[in-house]
Amino acid sequence: MKFWSERSSARRWFLLIALALFSALVVLVVLTAVFRLGPDGATSEYIPALVSVFAAVTGVVIGILRESVSDRKLRKQVFIAYAHEDRQVAESIAATVRSAGYSPWLDVEQVLPGENIEASLERAIRSSGAAIFIVPSGPLAQSSYLQRELFEITQRIRPLGRDVQPILPIVQSEGQVKNLPANLSGISALSVGDAAWESRLTDALRRAFA
């Protein structure tokens, strides 16, 4: 899954505008040919080709618009990985993510009875623009699902070529920092013990999605 930065999004809108202008030019050429030469004029043989080009360009423009809308929706989703004994902390974090204008993904809210849990988790990670990893209060080795989620988010949710990572480690106390998994040890962690953790989380999400 490819996630677009603001700069690439600007380039895409520039392309969209260019295609729209080209489409308008095609329409103008067709109308000019019809009105000047009439349906039996020499230029009329080019009209079907021009109409085909216009239809193709219109299809591309519609596709870009659909991708842009879909991309914006996907990029607002934040996957939250946590151990079930830390569910209360995860729900508190999810509430903060939601109030910041993003869509938190929690398995207890999203996975329906009868669904395949692993498939649901993988699908959610693929469709998320950022992830929060809550360092468990117990040993990470005791939660096979959390280990799998950590592996998936580090493989699938990549940074956009900037210093800000789209994976945000969260600890429940400063002492947990030493328990950060090796593949997250180079990323600054946020502690929910910090009095201003909600505002700091909101700022971190905005930077991650910028």
- What pLDDT, on the 0 to 100 scale, is given for residue 4? 35
CA dist 126 and 132 (Å) reads: 14
What whole-number distance in Å separates Cα of residue 105 and Cα of residue 153? 13
How is the chain split into domains, by residue range? 6-73, 76-209
Bigger pLDDT: 151 vs 210 = 151
Look up residue 118 and give its two tokens: 């692993």
Higher-pLDDT residue of 177 and 36 is 177
Token pair of 63 as six digits: 């596709």
CB proximity list for 43: less than 8 A, separation 6 or greater:
33, 36, 37
User: What mean pLDDT is predicted for residues 190-201?
Assistant: 92
pLDDT at 154: 87
Alpha helical stretches, state H, 40-128: 47-75, 87-99, 107-110, 117-126
**Res. 75 pLDDT band, cuts 50 70 90:** low
pLDDT of residue 7: 40
DSSP per-residue codes, 11-45? HHHHHHHHHHHHHHHHHHHHHHHHHHH-TTSGGGG
Encoded tokens for 166: 């789209």
How many whole angstroms separate alpha carbon 80 and alpha carbon 97? 10
In percent, how much of the chain has pLDDT > 70?
64
Higher per-residue confidence, 96 vs 2: 96
Across 90-99, 109-118, 155-164, which has the greatest mean pLDDT? 90-99
The pTM of this model reads 0.64
Beta strand pairing call for 190-191 and 167-171: parallel
Confidence class for position 38, pLDDT limits 50, 70, 90: low
Query: Is residue 19 within 8 Å of 61, Cβ to Cβ?
Result: yes
pLDDT band at 157 (very low <50, low <70, confident <90, very high): confident
Place of tokens 């090796």: 182
The percent of residues above 90 in pLDDT, for the chain, comes to: 26
pLDDT value for 199? 95
DSSP codes of every residue in 105-122: E-HHHHPPTTS-HHHHHH
- pLDDT for 135 equals 92
Q: Which CATH architecture has domain 76-209?
A: 3-Layer(aba) Sandwich (3.40)
